[in-house]
Structure 1
Amino acid sequence: MPTVPPERARPSEHEPHRHRRMAESFGVDAERYDRARPDYPDAVVERVVAGSPGPEVLDVGCGTGIAARRFRAAGCRVLGVEPDPRMADVARRFGIGVEVATFETWDPAGREFDAVVAGQAWHWIDPAAGAAKAARVLRPGGLLAPFWNVFQFPPDLGEAVAEVCRRAVPGAPFDFRAMTKGAPDGYRALLARAADGIREAGGFGEPEQWRHDWERLYTRDEWLDQMPTQGAFTRLPPDRLAEVLAGVGAAIDEAGGDFTMRYTTVAVIAVRTGTA
């Protein structure tokens, strides 16, 4: 799930693409999502662009177009596919062409692309069906490149935030303690599912993983603005969400009013095989 504690070991979480209500809940406040969510490092975008055979990019689960705008700025021609019309409307305001559909059911109408990317979205897609669809629309030599921003709080603050979340969201399908662990560690299962789906679909070389570490300074208000956009909280009742935000705000105040979040952008990359 996007920029929240990584999926853990409950059986249903091994298939997050089945959580359709959560997957399609981010548009409840699409403007906030676009404003508050972290961007993606230039280094990751540049690496995908450099490895692609051309400029045609398909952004799967493009949301409000945060990643799409990055690729457009790097000289690409980007088309988005997004199941939530509220998110798609925001992306269109930024000039991104978006077709509203789930990727598995989307009709490419014979179009081909040089890269299929997915920022914070591939785990909402059936990994084998998604990879098979990507293989259909990629030119030989094209890249399939799903990627995620994985965060890690400073340890003491992370413990305090995790405790607030555990109290306010009992029984949540996430282990909030993952916020204090090494960032990519909790995503190993997610990355493995993506790679296994690519292998199962066929049509690609052996998938590899990329990672890029970076940091961002957050004020109290900036982090509290982002939290309601995260999958663990998008469907909380208002009173429960207010409890989370109050508790987390108090923890950040106790830590000095701001903090540096460590991010790792992780990607699973596979090259489309075959000849034209």
Structure 2
Amino acid sequence: MPTLPPERMPGSPRESHQARELAESFGSDPERYDRARPRYPDAMVDAIVAASPGRDVVDVGIGTGIAARKFQAAGCRVLGVEVDARMGDWARQQGFEVEVAAFEAWDAAGRTFDAVISGQTWHWVEPVAGAAKAADVLRPGGRLAAFWNAGQPPTELAQAFAAVYRQVAPDSLAARWSAAAATSAYSAPYAKVTDGIRAAGGFGDPEQWSFTWERPYTRDEWLDQLPTTGGHAQFSAATQDEALAGIGAAIDAAGGSFTVQFTTTVVTAVRSR
């Protein structure tokens, strides 16, 4: 199931960056979020680090530190900026310095950095104001890199998941996402990020990089991560239970485990000299 919201929230004229209550819903269970969310491929981290002029990094929406740990392991010094204080507290427990603020309003206090990264979060940032802030805090030649995982279960299982969501929550984000291929669900947000970078100025031409990888899931592992996704974030307890029961039954019928094919896409641009 794709894990990036569509360009607009269902039943609302708001853009994703205006849906602050959904953006801040993931901190309700940071332990589960940290345990269950998919990671990012080493090849992506290595490519971003190699294409940046140094190792000072700001992680926008650091969350529990999933991406930050990868960049730290690659030799980077990571500062987190996080809108949700609960997530910020969890990342601090992992040893990261975190400043709680919306990135667009964050005061860098004159500090500059070699890279601004954002894993699975930039769609919550106003695209032009966020890119302008990134340009302000990047050193000449510094790199903005926003990236997302899009995961696709096997076709028959994805269809079974979609049938569950249509039954238990037909108007939900989960129902919409499960009905779309991961790549098509992501095309509009990627374009919006690219347009925001161009409109903000201060950057060279944006690029898209893609990295493919896969991860096996057991039934329990898949059910563990579903409540951490935007599609489940605003389910009632009863709807959550019904959805998880249906998804679990579909996985049991498919043999109890499966492999998800992931594509991690990076939208990136270099700060003009």
Give TM-score scaled by structure 1 length.
Answer: 0.94
Counterpart of 2:195 in structure 1 is: 196
Deviation (angstroms), 1:93:
1.1
**Do the aligned residues in 1 keep the contact of 2:2 with 2:152 (CA within 8 Å)?**
no
**Residue 272 in structure 1 maps to residue 252 in structure 2:** no
Q: What letter corresponds to residue 257 of structure 1 in structure 2? A: G
Match of 1:130 in 2: 130
Q: How far is 1:190 from its partner?
A: 0.6
2:90 aligned partner, one-letter code: V
Gapped regions of structure 1 (runs ≥ 5) = none
Using the TM superposition, give the Cα deviation of residue 146 of structure 1 relative to its aligned residue in structure 2, in angstroms.
Answer: 0.2
Q: How many residues end up aligned between the 2 structures? A: 271
| Matching residue of 1:176 | 177
| Cα deviation digits, residues 131-160 of structure 1 (max 9, x gap) | 000000000000000000011111000011
Q: What TM-score, normalized to structure 2?
A: 0.95
How far does the alpha carbon of each residue in 1:213-238 deviate from its partner, in whole angstroms, 9 at most, with x for none?
A: 10000000000000000111122111
Residue 214 of structure 1: aligned partner: 213
Q: 1:262 to 1:252 in 2, by over 3 A?
A: same
Q: How far apart are residue 176 of structure 1 and its match? A: 3.2
Aligned partners of 1:136 and 1:30: how far apart in 2? 30
CA separation of 1:85 and 1:12: change in aligned 2, threshold 3 A: same
CA distance, structure 2, for counterparts of residue 205 and residue 39 of structure 1 = 28
2:75 paired residue number: 75
Counterpart Cα distance in 1 of 2:253 and 2:13:
33
CA contact (8 A) 2:113 2:138 kept: yes
Change (3 A) 1:225 1:13: farther
Q: Gapped runs of 5+ residues in structure 2? A: none
* Aligned residues of 1:61 and 1:118 also touching (Cα < 8 A): yes
Letter in 2 for 1:238: A
Q: After superposition, what is the alpha-carbon deviation per residue over 1:182-235, rounded to whole angstroms, capped at 9, x for unaligned?
A: x32321111000000000000000001000010000000000000000111122
d(CA) in 2 for partners of 1:210 and 1:14? Answer: 28
Greater mean alpha carbon deviation, residues 232-241 or residues 25-34: 232-241
Q: Is the 8 A contact 2:7 2:16 kept in 1?
A: no
In the alignment, is the contact (CA less than 8 A) between 2:3 and 2:149 conserved in 1?
no
Contact 1:5 1:178 (8 Å CA) reproduced: no
Identity %: 58
CA deviation after TM superposition for structure 1 residue 177, in Å: 3.5
- Provide the rounded CA distance (Å) in 2 between the counterparts of 1:124 and 1:11: 18
Q: CA deviation at 1:13?
A: 7.1
Secondary structure class of the residue paired with 1:104? helix
- Is residue 162–residue 178 contact of structure 2 (8 Å, CA) maintained in 1? yes
SS at match of 2:29: helix
2:52/2:143 contact within 8 Å kept: yes
AA at the equivalent of 1:254: A
Instruction: Give 1:121's aligned amino acid.
Output: T
- The residue number in structure 1 matching 2:110 is 110
Q: Structure 2 vs 1, CA of residues 3 and 88 (structure 1 numbering), >3 Å: closer, same or farther?
A: farther
Cα distance, 1:48–1:236 mapped onto 2, change above 3 Å: same
SS for the counterpart of 1:213 is strand
Aligned position for 1:24: 24
- Residues in 2 aligned to 1:37 and 1:30: alpha-carbon distance in whole angstroms: 10
> CA contact under 8 A between 1:184 and 1:266: conserved in structure 2?
no
